[in-house]
Amino acid sequence: MNTHHPIDDLPAYALGCLEEIELQAVERHLAVCVDCRNEVAMLRDAAAQMAFSTTQVEPPVWLKRGILARVEPVKTPVNSSSWWDWLKNIKPAWGVAAFAIIVLLIVSNLVLWNRVQTLSQNKPVSTFQVVSLAGTGPAETAHGVMIVTDSGRFGTLVVDGLPELVKEQQYQLWLIEDGQRTSGGVFSVDAWGYGAMVIKAPLPLDTYSDFGVTVEPAGGSPGPTGDKVLGGSF
Amino acid sequence: MFPSDEDLLHQIARSESKALATLYDRYGRLVFSLALRMVGNAASAEEITQDVFVQVWNNAASYQPELSKLTTWLTSITRYRSIDLLRRRNVRPDGHILEDPVEDLVISGGREELPEVQLEAKTADQQVRLALAELPEEQRAVLLMAYFQGLSQPEMAAALNEPLGTVKTRVRLGLQKLRRILESNEPPAW
């Protein structure tokens, strides 16, 4: 058994900067020496901390979806040749019926389009108020937006990038005025961190000056108890 | 309240993609930032980040928390991928690779200000930058060259025009000292 411990080479090994011959010698020793393996593990942890010294840059939003798309099961694609076979085998009577349905759909679409055009020309101009919510604490990369009608009576909250919670927990929106916090409803997010809800408020939403989202037990709490993950102001 | 890293790895090992999404929320920025610093190109950093998390997805069952921290595992995969890409291209990125992470801490007033800054240091990146700032400049330089550029000791000796033995000593003393400093601090809140 090799009793010489290559202590001097272990930091360079942990950093991955040994030459091939030295590397092989260290690896032969590590295969039989628990003490040196433990030492390397601790040196690697220290070296890995250097990654935190890098200026943190936000990756593009689509990257997460791209990763999940690569790992989630691929849906079976529609086989185009089977559609073509189906079309080729269709009986003439059914072909006429299908053609009639297509014509009917085109005509009804045109009628609907005309009606929409007419309505939009007569519609009064409406505006919305928008409040941006920024991630804080354990969810600093998250963000959200509240869209509130001009009258302040109705509002919708949309969030993205919040961590998905265990089923015993939900996010709760707080409406804040003069330090008083009123619940605006509870919601959950999906695996992509996306969630939305219609805000329920006893007063018009523009009555409130600030808004926050916290993690609470499922169903919500009378007052905030968990970590704040989003915040914003009118 | 939030699932632990270990819980997430168990869930990923059971092919629960939601857990991977949560892990990405937690560490995606770290992985992307490290890759970007190493390869100096956003498109390549995006590709590496995808590869890292797909590799986590494929190998979560083999991860052994008693052997290394999750951040060590993630950053190791990121480094290997980045170094591999650099070697395939046979190029080293310029500019920001050579940036010194402690520069912004010391540039205004010198290291004598560090104890005061240290009191205010709360985040992991600040703690690591402060720890690096405590190293002699020559030791810090070889650690950064080895870690971010993936240079071997002979390559560093050639680049610095220093004897190989000198570089080896700096690497050894530098990493040992960095480890002692980091162990004496609070663990970063990640």
Q: How much is the mean pLDDT over chain A?
A: 84
**Domain assignment present for B120:** yes
Query: SS3 for A136?
Result: coil
Same domain, B77 and B115: no
Cα(A190)–Cα(A82) distance, integer angstroms: 35
pTM for the whole structure: 0.58
Spatial CA neighbour of B82 closest among B58, B46, B113? B46
Chosen domain end from B40, B57, B89: B89
User: What's the CATH number where B42 sits?
Assistant: 1.10.1740.10
**Domain assignment present for B95:** no
B15: domain range? 5-89
Question: Are A48 and B76 an interchain contact pair (Cβ–Cβ within 8 Å)?
Answer: yes
Q: What is the interface size between A and B, counted as CB pairs within 8 Å?
A: 181
Cα(B122)–Cα(B130) distance, integer angstroms: 11
- CA B167 to mean position of chain CA atoms: 20
Spatial CA neighbour of A50 closest among B24, B175, B185? B175
Same domain, B175 and B123: yes
Chain A contact set for B132 (CB, 8 A): 50, 53
B10 vs A80: which has the higher pLDDT: B10
Per-residue confidence band for B94, with pLDDT thresholds at 50, 70 and 90: very low
**Domain assignment present for B25:** yes
Same domain, B62 and B106: no
Q: State pLDDT tens for residues B104-116.
A: 443 333 333 344 4
User: Considering chain B, what percentage of its residues have pLDDT values greater than 90?
Assistant: 62
Chain B contact set for A54 (CB, 8 A): 33-34, 37, 101, 125, 148
Q: Which residues pair with A233 in a beta bridge?
A: A210
User: What's the CATH number where B140 sits?
Assistant: 1.10.10.10
Cα(B55)–Cα(B43) distance, integer angstroms: 18
Region B176-182: what's the mean pLDDT? 94
Q: Looking at A31-35, A122-126, A130-134, B141-145, which range is the least confident one?
A: A122-126
Q: Which residues pair with A187 in a beta bridge?
A: A171
Per-residue confidence band for B141, with pLDDT thresholds at 50, 70 and 90: very high
Per-residue confidence band for A164, with pLDDT thresholds at 50, 70 and 90: confident
Same domain, B109 and B51: no
Question: Are A47 and B143 an interchain contact pair (Cβ–Cβ within 8 Å)?
Answer: yes
Residue to substitute from B22, B49, B75, interface A, most A β-carbons within 10 A: B75
Same domain, B108 and B84: no
**Domain assignment present for B116:** yes
**Domain assignment present for B96:** no
**Cross-chain CB nearest to B25 (options A53, A163, A190):** A163
**A35, A59 Cβ separation under 8 angstroms:** no
Question: Are B125 and A53 an interchain contact pair (Cβ–Cβ within 8 Å)?
Answer: yes
- A58-65's contacts with Cβ under 8 Å and 24+ in sequence apart are A58/A141, A58/B29, A58/B32, A59/B28, A59/B29, A59/B32, A59/B45, A59/B46, A59/B49, A60/B46, A61/A160, A63/B28, A63/B32, A63/B46, A63/B49, A63/B50, A64/A192, A64/A193, A64/B21, A64/B24, A64/B25, A64/B28, A65/A192
Region B162-176: what's the mean pLDDT? 96
Radius of gyration of chain A, Cα coordinates, nearest whole angstrom: 30
Q: How many domains does chain B have?
A: 2
HSE, CB side, 13 Å, CA atoms: give it for residue B120: 5
Cα(B75)–Cα(B79) distance, integer angstroms: 6
**A157, A175 Cβ separation under 8 angstroms:** no
**A166, B3 Cβ separation under 8 angstroms:** yes
Cα(A131)–Cα(B69) distance, integer angstroms: 39
Q: State pLDDT tens for residues A167-205.
A: 888 999 999 988 888 899 999 988 888 889 999 888 889
Report CA-CA distances (Å) from A11 to B119, B176, B178. Answer: 29, 7, 11
Amino acid at A27: E
Cα(A23)–Cα(A194) distance, integer angstroms: 47
Same domain, B109 and B82: no
ipTM of the shown complex: 0.81
Helix axes A62-71, B42-59, angle to 10 degrees: 40
Per-residue confidence band for A43, with pLDDT thresholds at 50, 70 and 90: very high
- Give A130 to chain B, closest Cα distance, Å: 25
Q: What domains lie within chain A, and their CATH numbers?
A: 7-53 (no CATH), 128-233 (2.60.40.200)
Q: Looking at B52-66, B97-111, B166-180, which range is the least confident one?
A: B97-111
Same domain, B55 and B131: no
Per-residue confidence band for A122, with pLDDT thresholds at 50, 70 and 90: low
Same domain, B113 and B162: yes
Phi and psi (nearest 5°) for B31? Answer: -65, -45
Same domain, B55 and B79: yes
> With DSSP H G I counted as helix, E B as strand and the rest as coil, what are the percentages for chain B, rounded to 5?
75, 0, 25
Same domain, B64 and B13: yes
**Domain assignment present for B94:** no
Cα(B48)–Cα(B31) distance, integer angstroms: 9
Helix axes B70-89, A34-48, angle to 10 degrees: 80
Question: Are A52 and B144 an interchain contact pair (Cβ–Cβ within 8 Å)?
Answer: no
Spatial CA neighbour of A47 closest among B34, B56, B94, B116? B34
Same domain, B13 and B56: yes
Chain A contact set for B44 (CB, 8 A): none
Chosen domain end from B40, B64, B89: B89
Region B156-178: what's the mean pLDDT? 96
- In chain A, whose CA is at the least distance from the CA of B69? A45
Residue with tokens 């995006």: B46
**Domain assignment present for B121:** yes
**Cross-chain CB nearest to B21 (options A15, A18, A193):** A193
- Give A97 to chain B, closest Cα distance, Å: 45
Same domain, B70 and B109: no
